[in-house]
Amino acid sequence: MVPRSLLHAFRLGREGLLDLLFPRLCLSCGLRTLAEDALFCLDCQSQLHPADMYRFPDNEVASRFRGRIELAAGAALYYYEKGTRLQQLMERLKYRGETNIGLSLGAYFGRLLVENEPFRSIEWLVPVPLHPKKQALRGYNQSAWIARGLSRSMGIPVREDLLVRTRETDSQTRKGRHERMQNMSAAFALTPLGRQMTAGHHIALVDDVLTTGATLESCALKFKEASPLCRLSMLTLGMTC
């Protein structure tokens, strides 16, 4: 006997059958989503705070780095706050091995970015590296998965061979800006390949959440020191207000 749900799907046609066999599930709560291409159900969607920074080059990301580093472009996909669904998503991506979250959100973000001029000239996506010890422990770098998602929809290669993390850094939250920068500036280095290749190129640094910007700034400064003519952009999934 054919299950009723299957009969229903046949009545709905091919789309209905596909939906039954491969239901589109909300990335956040796991319930079904209705719209095609939707990453979230309506309830979760309403709890996220999308930022349309990709439309305006002179946005909050640019102003967070103003006076620190000149950006070619910068954008965050969502505003980030503690205790929200976005924080839960970022924790699952970072600590629970759910790399598909980085891949899916990265690909979605990339589709928005490619429509806009300053992002089209990006040549390489460089994820903020983890210290090798930390990466071995975690098994993956969450920012690299976001970069792979971006790469999928933007058609731009991910380069993990240009920048390395040379020092593990402790929690930054209680330090002042000057102390944070001192602590961070020794934490990253370009590889020999990174030093050779950066001249004149447009590089986008990719991270999960932008808070103070100390990490991204110190990565960017390494590229600027090696090649003052290179252009730098910053792409993150979340940004604190």
Strands 163-165, 188-190: parallel, antiparallel or unpaired by DSSP?
antiparallel
∠ CA 122-66-85, nearest 5°, is 70
Q: How far apart are CA 76 and CA 93, in angstroms?
A: 17
Toward Zn ion, which CB reaches closer, 28 or 233? 28
Q: What's the closest the beta carbon of residue 186 comes to Zn ion, in angstroms?
A: 42
Q: Is 213 left (phi over 0), alpha (psi -120 to 50) or beta?
A: left
Two tokens at 156?
């731009």
54 versus 78: smaller Cβ distance to Zn ion: 78
Of the pair 28, 143, the CB lying nearest Zn ion is at 28
Q: Which residues of this chain interact with Zn ion, rule CB under 5 A?
A: 26, 28-29, 41, 44
The identity of residue 9, as a single letter, is A
Q: Label the pairing between strands 231-240 and 73-80.
A: parallel
Closest contact distance (angstroms) between CB of 35 and Zn ion is 12
| Cα 53 to the center of its chain, rounded Å | 14
Residue 5's identity, in one-letter code, is S
User: Considering beta carbons, is residue 33 or 141 the nearer one to Zn ion?
Assistant: 33
Q: Which positions ≥6 away from 15 have C-beta within 8 Å?
A: none
Cβ 42 to Zn ion shortest distance, Å: 8
Pick 39 or 146: Cβ nearer Zn ion:
39
What is the closest distance, in whole angstroms, from the C-beta atom of residue 184 to Zn ion in the complex?
36
Q: How far is the CB of 93 from Zn ion (least distance, A)?
A: 16
